Amino acid sequence: MATDHIKKLSAASATPHTRRNTPKSTSLPGLLGWACQALKPPPPRICGSADGPPVTSSRIKLDDGRHLAYREAGVPREEAKYKIVVIHGFDSSKDLNLPTPQELRIYFLFFDRAGYGDSDPNPYRSVKSEAYDVQELADKLAGASLVVPFVNYWWPRLPANISNEAFGRLLAQDQWSFRVAHYPPWLFYWWMSQKWFP
C-alpha cells in the first residue's frame, strides 16, 4: 500500500527549489502611482493672493471672476485705424515685441492667456474658453476688428516663397509643432484634450 504512506509537507517546510516563482507585480503599480504623484505639478499660485506672487501688469476682470493680464502697444486706442489683439504661443507671453511704424496707426493689445504670466489659471481651459476670453477682452478694451493667431503657413493665398522663407526662420521645435498641427491635426487635438498627462 504505497498510496497510504504519502508524506505531507507544509508550505513553510518546502525548500526553495520546490516553490514556484511568482512574479511580484504589486510593486509596479505602486511605483507607477508614486511616479504620477511625483510628476503632478503643485496647485497654481494665483497672482495677487496671499500666497501668490505680486501683480506686475495691468489686468482686467472677466465675467467668471478670473483676471487676464494685458499690455497695450502702438498708437493710443482712440487714434488707431486698426486694433489688433495678439495671442501668444505656448512658450511665450504678452511681452512680445512687434515693431510697427507709427504711420500705420495700429493699436496692439497683447494679453497673457489663462495660466500664463499674471493671468489667473482656468481649470476648465479649452479652445472654446480661450476664444471667449479673447472676445471678452476685445469687447472691454479694444473693440477689436482683427484677432491675430499665428500664421497658417499653408494658406493658399500666401505666396509660396514668402511662406517658405518665414517658415524656415522658425525654430526647429516650432516648425515641428506647426507640421503636427497641419498634417495630423487629430494628434494635436488628442494632445490638447487628453486627460492622462498634466
Whole-structure pTM value:
0.56
Torsion angles phi and psi, residue 15, rounded to 5: -80, 160
Q: pLDDT tens digits for the chain (198 residues)?
A: 555 556 665 555 555 555 555 555 567 777 887 877 777 777 777 777 788 788 888 888 999 999 999 998 888 888 888 888 888 776 778 887 777 778 888 888 888 888 888 888 888 888 788 888 888 888 888 676 555 556 677 777 777 887 888 888 888 888 887 887 778 877 777 777 777 776
Of 58, 40, 62, nearest to 48 by C-alpha is 58
Q: Which domains does the chain have, with CATH numbers?
A: 58-149 (3.40.50.1820), 153-198 (no CATH)
Question: What would the grid cell of residue 10 be?
Answer: 507544509
